[in-house]
Every structure is written in structure tokens, then in C-alpha cells.
């Protein structure tokens, strides 16, 4: 706060230099010297005329002396007026003094009444200073819990608590908070979708059963809710309803720009769902899907649940761009075909360097396991938004094409996504 006011004072002083200093140095245009010169010229001309009249006998000596005395008296009077005017203080300097006092007072007064005096204060990670922000520290989370307990009907507090529980992976507690929240705010589709998401995470990542019911409720309220459509497609894949997965993801795809990277992920999921649907019906999968499945099906038994192990590190050149509490995703996806994550681990930047294991136990869908593919790519991404889908500004590193079961992989996060 002190630094802020010092900077403000310096900026105000610089601004005043451009206004007050020119006024202080300025002078009022004074014609006193020119007027004195004109008066002397007139005096000389009149004396010369009187001298000529005296020589020509037009004036007596007495009249000449009297006229000369009158001219001298008048000249002295005019010079005295000029000196009196010159003695008056320069009004520009007076204006400079007034502005040097008035400007700082007005500037501070306007900021105090119009500006946000609390914006420069250190932001505490506590329930008292955040309306919807996520808190992670144990003390801040405890304070938020106490606040919600004291005000159980505060929807904002419940929402913040639910998000905070989810961020620290207390998914069962997050589900309970969303349950209470949806009772207070029953007509918000996004809350039902978030509820389904954390409930699935608390249930071994399964979207079957109640999470599916919650997603259906979300889609009743908003048929094009992004998260509800994405998760509903995954739930349909889990229960083998590939046609439903295609319907949900196609509707989701229509809502995304064609150049959106997430659109490519959804397209890959649709291709995979159609491939499984064709196999289920006894037909052959589409040509594109064959590249994704092809020999992968023959490798399933051999690969089994072999996991990929390795270490993720952050490049020294990007450390300044990452905060300790930023979300870190380590995921594996097929090298060809669908780009949806086959397995994923969620941590934080403060966990780096991170030793990871990715296998079928971390799969996002029962139908899309890492062991179904013989060539995969591992990606490590730091997300500022906490969203698993890529965003501009995310930091990322990735491996080359590898096989499931690869051990000792090292991934360096060394690029910023455009």
C-alpha cells in the first residue's frame, strides 16, 4: 500500500511540473519600457516646439518656463504610475501556488470517492475476501467451512466451498456441497453438471448411475450446456450406448468454432464412438477409426494394464510464468485417431518435479483405455484455468510417440501454447 501511494505521489509531482512550472516561470507582458520611451519622445517634441515658439517670439520667457514645468510634472506623474504597476505581484505565480495545493487535494479526493481503495491491498486467500475464488490452504478452507456453517443458505459461499473441495480433490465433500447448492439453486444447469462431475470423481471416475441422472437434469435445463454434453457423451460410452455418445458430442461440436482445438478432440471421440458402434453391430469401423483401433485390438491382451512411468519437470525459462497452485495435468492420448485423454493425473505445479504413473486405472472411460492402443503420446500441461481442455497461455511439454509400458519417460514443460 505504501509503495502504491509513493508511485501516485511521484506521478502527481511529474504532472504538476508540466502545469505549475511554466506558470511560475511565465511573465505578464508589460509595456512599461515602451510607454516610458514614448512619453520621453513626446516630451522632447513638445519642448522642441516650445523652444521654436520662444525663438520666434510666439511665447514669452515666462510662458515658456510655465509650460516646461507643466510638461515635467506630467511626465513624473506618468512614470510614477508605471512604477506602481510594475510593483504588483505576477498573478501567474500566484496561480501556480494555488494549483500546487489544489491539484493534489482534488486528485486524492476524487480517487478516494471513485476509485477502489482496497484493490491494492494484499488479497487474502480466505472466505472473507473471495466471493467465488478457490481457496486451497487448510486455514482458509476451515474459515470458509465455518462461514458456510453459520450461513447455510448462502449460495455463493456454498459454491465457493464446493469448488475449493474439488480443487483439493476432496470430491466426496464437494459432492455434498453441490447437493445442498442444487437444492438452493435448482434451475442452474451448470451446477448440476458440476455436481455430476465431482460425484463421478468420488465414485472411481464412473459416470454411471446417479451422475448420469444429474447430467440429464442439467440437459433438461440447458440442452447445450458444454460440460453436461461432454460428460453425457462419456457416460454413454461407459454404458456402451455409442449412438447416444455420438448425439451428445455432435451437438457439442456444433456449439464450438471449427478452429477450436477442443473441436478436434470431440471429433476424435465421435469417430471412436462410431467405430465401437460399427463393431457392436457386426460391421467394420470407418477407415479413419481403423487407424486408431487397427492393430490396437490385437495388442490389448499383450499390453494388459501395463503403465507408463516417468518424470515431469518445468523448464527454468518458464518458471516465472507458473504459480505453485496452478493445476498440472499429465495425460496420455492415442498417437493417431481420437485425441481424448485415455488416462490422466491431476496435480499442482508445487508438486514438480513429479513422478507419474499412467495406466488403465486412471482411464477416463471404460471403453477408451490406454491398453487399447499400441502407440500413444504423453502430455504434461500447466493450466491457469484449471480446465483440462487447452487454453491459450497454458504451458506444455510432450513426449514423442511411445508404446504403453514405457518406463523412465522424461517430459520437459518448455512451451507456451498460443
Question: Which of 42-46, 188-192, 302-306 shows the lowest per-residue confidence on average (mean pLDDT)?
Answer: 302-306
pLDDT score for 222: 92
Q: Are residues 56 and 166 in the same domain?
A: no
What range defines the domain where residue 308 resides? Answer: 301-416
**Is a pLDDT exceeding 90 seen at residue 267?**
no
Within-domain flag for 73: yes
Cα–Cα distance, 292 to 5 (Å, whole number): 61
* CA angle (346 as vertex; 221, 272 as ends), nearest 5: 60
Last residue of a domain, one of 114, 146, 179: 114
Angle of helix 226-238 relative to helix 210-221, nearest 10 degrees, comes to 140
**Is a pLDDT exceeding 80 seen at residue 355?**
yes
Q: What does the pLDDT look like over 316-345, one tens digit per residue?
A: 999 988 988 888 989 888 876 556 777 888
Within-domain flag for 198: yes
Among candidates 335, 334, 345, which has minimal Cα distance to 388?
A: 345
How buried is 150 (Cβ within 10 angstroms: 0-12 exposed, 13-18 middle, 19+ buried)?
exposed
Within-domain flag for 150: yes
For residue 267, give every residue at least 6 positions away whose Cβ sits within 8 Å of its Cβ, in sequence order, or none: 253
Average pLDDT estimate for 97-109? 76
Within-domain flag for 125: no
Q: Are residues 18 and 161 in the same domain?
A: no
**Is a pLDDT exceeding 80 seen at residue 84?**
no
Q: Categorize the per-residue pLDDT at 354 as very low, low, confident or very high, splitting at 50, 70 and 90.
A: very high
Q: Are residues 87 and 184 in the same domain?
A: no
Polymer length of the chain: 418
Q: Categorize the per-residue pLDDT at 107 as very low, low, confident or very high, splitting at 50, 70 and 90.
A: confident
**Number of domains observed in the structure of the chain:** 3
Q: Are residues 19 and 163 in the same domain?
A: no
* CA angle (96 as vertex; 93, 102 as ends), nearest 5: 145
> Which three three-digit cell numbers place residue 130?
473471495
pLDDT score for 220: 94
Within-domain flag for 39: yes
Average pLDDT estimate for 18-30? 66
Q: Are residues 84 and 216 in the same domain?
A: no
Average pLDDT estimate for 163-180? 90
Among candidates 309, 312, 329, 337, which has minimal Cα distance to 403?
A: 309
Q: Are residues 95 and 152 in the same domain?
A: no
* Residue bearing cell 445442498: 180
Within-domain flag for 123: no
Cα–Cα distance, 327 to 344 (Å, whole number): 13
Average pLDDT estimate for 199-224? 89
pLDDT score for 237: 83
Q: Are residues 145 and 289 in the same domain?
A: yes
pTM exceeds 0.85, yes or no: no
CATH number, domain containing residue 408:
2.60.40
DSSP letter, residue 286 = P
Q: Are residues 106 and 240 in the same domain?
A: no
Are the CB atoms for 279 and 348 separated by under 8 Å? no
> Which three three-digit cell numbers place residue 20?
505549475
Within-domain flag for 127: no
Classify the phi-psi angles of 337: left when phi > 0, otherwise alpha if psi is within -120 to 50, otherwise beta: left
Average pLDDT estimate for 215-228? 92
Q: Are residues 182 and 210 in the same domain?
A: yes
Q: What does the pLDDT look like over 37-57, one tens digit per residue?
A: 666 777 777 778 877 777 777
Q: Are residues 283 and 380 in the same domain?
A: no
Within-domain flag for 26: yes
pLDDT score for 293: 39
Last residue of a domain, one of 259, 293, 327: 293
pLDDT score for 69: 78
CATH number, domain containing residue 143:
1.25.40.10
Q: Are residues 142 and 273 in the same domain?
A: yes
Last residue of a domain, one of 293, 326, 360: 293
Q: Are residues 316 and 340 in the same domain?
A: yes
Amino acid at each position: 500500500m505504501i509503495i502504491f501511494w509513493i508511485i501516485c505521489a511521484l506521478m502527481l509531482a511529474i504532472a504538476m511540473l508540466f502545469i505549475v512550472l511554466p506558470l511560475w516561470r511565465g511573465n505578464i507582458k508589460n509595456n512599461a519600457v515602451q510607454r516610458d520611451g514614448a512619453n520621453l519622445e513626446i516630451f522632447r517634441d513638445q519642448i522642441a516646439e516650445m523652444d521654436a515658439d520662444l525663438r520666434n517670439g510666439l511665447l514669452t520667457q515666462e510662458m515658456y518656463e510655465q509650460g516646461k514645468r507643466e510638461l515635467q510634472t506630467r511626465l513624473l506623474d506618468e512614470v510614477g504610475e508605471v512604477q506602481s504597476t510594475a510593483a504588483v505581484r505576477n498573478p501567474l505565480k500566484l496561480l501556480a501556488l494555488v494549483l500546487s495545493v489544489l491539484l493534489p487535494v482534488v486528485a486524492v479526493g476524487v480517487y478516494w470517492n471513485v476509485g477502489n481503495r482496497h484493490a491494492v491491498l494484499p488479497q487474502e486467500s480466505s472466505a472473507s475476501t473471495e466471493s467465488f475464488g478457490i481457496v486451497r490452504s487448510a486455514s482458509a478452507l476451515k474459515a470458509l467451512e465455518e462461514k458456510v456453517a453459520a450461513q447455510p443458505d448462502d449460495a455463493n459461499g456454498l459454491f465457493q466451498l464446493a469448488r475449493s473441495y474439488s480443487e483439493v480433490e476432496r470430491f466426496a465433500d464437494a459432492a455434498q456441497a453441490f447437493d445442498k447448492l442444487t437444492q438452493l439453486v435448482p434451475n442452474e444447469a451448470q451446477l448440476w453438471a458440476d455436481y455430476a462431475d465431482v460425484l463421478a470423481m468420488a465414485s472411481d471416475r464412473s459416470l454411471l448411475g446417479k451422475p448420469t441422472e444429474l447430467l440429464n437434469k442439467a440437459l433438461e435445463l440447458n440442452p447445450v450446456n458444454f460440460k453436461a454434453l461432454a460428460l453425457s457423451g462419456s457416460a454413454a460410452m461407459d454404458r456402451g450406448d455409442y449412438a447416444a455418445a455420438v448425439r451428445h458430442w455432435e451437438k457439442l461440436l456444433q456449439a464450438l468454432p471449427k478452429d477450436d482445438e477442443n473441436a478436434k478432440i470431440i471429433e476424435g471421440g465421435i469417430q471412436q464412438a462410431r467405430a465401437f458402434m460399427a463393431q457392436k453391430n457386426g460391421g467394420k469401423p470407418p477407415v479413419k477409426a481403423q487407424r486408431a483401433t487397427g492393430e490396437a485390438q490385437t495388442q490389448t491382451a499383450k499390453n494388459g494394464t501395463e503403465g507408463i512411468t516417468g518424470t515431469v519437470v518445468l523448464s527454468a525459462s518458464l518458471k516465472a510464468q507458473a504459480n505453485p497452485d496452478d493445476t498440472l495435468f499429465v495425460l496420455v492420448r492415442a498417437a493417431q485417431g481420437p485425441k481424448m485423454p485415455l488416462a490422466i493425473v491431476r496435480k499442482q505445479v508445487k508438486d514438480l518435479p513429479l513422478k507419474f504413473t499412467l495406466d488403465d486405472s486412471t482411464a477416463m472411460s471404460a471403453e477408451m483405455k490406454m491398453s487399447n492402443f499400441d502407440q500413444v503420446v504423453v502430455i504434461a500441461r500447466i493450466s491457469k484455468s484449471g480446465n483440462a481442455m487447452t487454453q491459450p497461455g497454458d504451458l506444455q511439454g510432450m513426449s514423442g510417440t511411445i508404446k504403453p509400458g514405457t518406463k523412465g519417460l522424461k517430459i520437459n514443460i518448455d512451451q507456451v501454447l498460443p
